Amino acid sequence: MKILVGLGNFEDAYVGTRHNVGRDFCIWLMQKNKFSDFKKDSFLKALVSTGEINGEMYTLILPETYMNLSGVTVKNIFQKWSDVQKEDVIIIHDDVDINFGELKVSRDSGHGGHNGIRSIQQETKDNFTRIRIGICPKTFLGSFKKPHKEQVADFVLKKFGMFERNEVESIFNKAALLV
């Protein structure tokens, strides 16, 4: 069994924001592959859906905590399912240091200032494979447009722009291939 943890904030106001792209991806994946509906798991402090992709079982997990407490859910995964190995867990999240539309896979790397990853590393004392989805827009000329450090928190909580929203499904399709 593979476990995909989609990071984001749980309240409806955050749906479609840059910071929720990991969570939104897991919801999209569930719908596209006809997984079970998400059900609340109080122990995990998360919503959980299960299904199959190409003959392999997957569990999708959406922490029902704010982003900076995501580590509680990931730690509880290993307490609930003792047979789950580190290699079975993939964390999917936004990354302000990657251009919009680009994806990167990381293994055993630092949190890079991402509070959800920082929480996971603090709670589990471990690193996991991560699919990082770029959220920084490009300028009209194609250059990288990263917000200033003091503006990052506001930036990640904004919804994608009109042109970006049209590309999200294409990005999700690329992420699904990585999964």
Whole-prediction pTM value? 0.93
Q: Is the dihedral of CA 64, 70, 76, 78 positive or negative?
A: positive
Please compute Rg for the chain using Cα positions. 15
Domain residue spans in the chain?
Answer: 2-178
Read off the tokens for 134: 């770029």
User: According to the CATH classification, is domain 2-178 in 3.40.190.10?
Assistant: no
The predicted structure's pLDDT at residue 61: 98
Query: Catalytic positions, please?
Result: 19
Q: For the chain (length 179 residues), average pLDDT per consecutive 10?
A: 96 92 97 96 98 95 96 97 94 93 90 91 95 86 72 86 88 94
CA dist 126 and 118 (Å) reads 10
